[in-house]
Amino acid sequence: DWPLPEGKLPGQGSMFIGEKGCILLSHVGGPQPLPREKFTDDLKRFKEEVRLPNIPNHYQQFVEAALGRGKTTTPFSYSGPLTETVLMGTVVNRFPKEKLVWDAQACRFTNKPEANERLRRTYRDGWHVDGLG
């Protein structure tokens, strides 16, 4: 049973399901721990810790940073681990009801070789990416 909120769910986003509840994270909204009454203290913490500036044009901000004329509000030190988590989730979805253990340092699952096969692709002859196989 998922403790989903009443009303309309967001059109985009993710849901993280844990032992005590879940976190609903829409594409443009903040995290919603559910059931809410169980996570009152956590909701306060989310409001304090999650602060992203309102950037009207993040594409332009990226271009300016790439040209050396500023920095992004979400540099690779932030967006890299975030992307890793999201992409790891797409692999985990292929193994429902199984616990997969992720080694972030080695960038691999320690207990599921079949899951690791989904982390890299075999490139066609004549194509390759240095460092990725």
Q: Is residue 8 assigned to a domain?
A: yes
pLDDT reported for residue 115: 96
Q: Is residue 28 assigned to a domain?
A: yes
Q: Is residue 56 assigned to a domain?
A: no
Q: Is residue 13 assigned to a domain?
A: yes
Q: Is residue 18 assigned to a domain?
A: yes
Per residue in 7-50, pLDDT (tens digit) is: 677 778 888 888 888 888 887 777 778 887 777 776 666 555 55
Residue 82 phi, psi (nearest 5): -65, -45
Q: What is the mean pLDDT of the segment spanning 102-124?
A: 91
Higher pLDDT: 6 or 100? It is: 100
Q: Is residue 19 assigned to a domain?
A: yes
What 8-state DSSP symbol labels residue 73? S
- Domain span at residue 24 reads 1-51
Q: What is the pTM of this model?
A: 0.52
pLDDT reported for residue 109: 96
Q: Is residue 98 assigned to a domain?
A: no
Q: Are 95 and 115 in contact (CB under 8 A)?
A: yes
**Beta strand 31-34 pairing with 22-26:** antiparallel
- Structurally, the chain folds into a number of domains equal to 1
